[in-house]
Amino acid sequence: MVLKHWIENTIEEDLANTAKSILDANKEEVERMVANNAFLLREMKEEAKKAGKIEGKLEGKNEEKIQIAKNLLDVLDDDTIATKTGLSLEVVKNLRKS
């Protein structure tokens, strides 16, 4: 490290050793912080993946409900379809219109 070399060559030995030990300690602290941040980023990515999977499953279930409702439009009334599929009456009515 350039700074350590400069310290060694410009200030007295005891002070240089103290300064270098401070720099080394700070380097270790920075490395520890970087490692902690890397760990936190990995955890955040995993949580995001889990959230994405859950969201995807919910979307899939909703799409399944909509498909079932579409299949029932010609045999059941809107209230019954909404009750049996768990979709709102408004959604069922919009499906019937489309």
Structural domain containing residue 25: 2-97
Number of neighbouring beta carbons within 10 Å of residue 53: 10
Total domain count, the chain: 1
Q: Encoding tokens for residue 15? A: 């002070």
Residue carrying the six token digits 């969201």: 55
Span 71-91, pLDDT tens digits: 999 999 999 999 999 999 999
Residue count (the chain):
98
Span 32-52, pLDDT tens digits: 877 888 899 999 999 999 999
By the 8 A CB rule, do 78 and 96 touch? yes
Q: What are phi and psi of 75, to 5 degrees?
A: -125, -15
CA 96 to mean position of chain CA atoms = 37
Q: Give the pLDDT mean for 49-64.
A: 94
Whether 6 shows a pLDDT value over 70: the answer reads yes
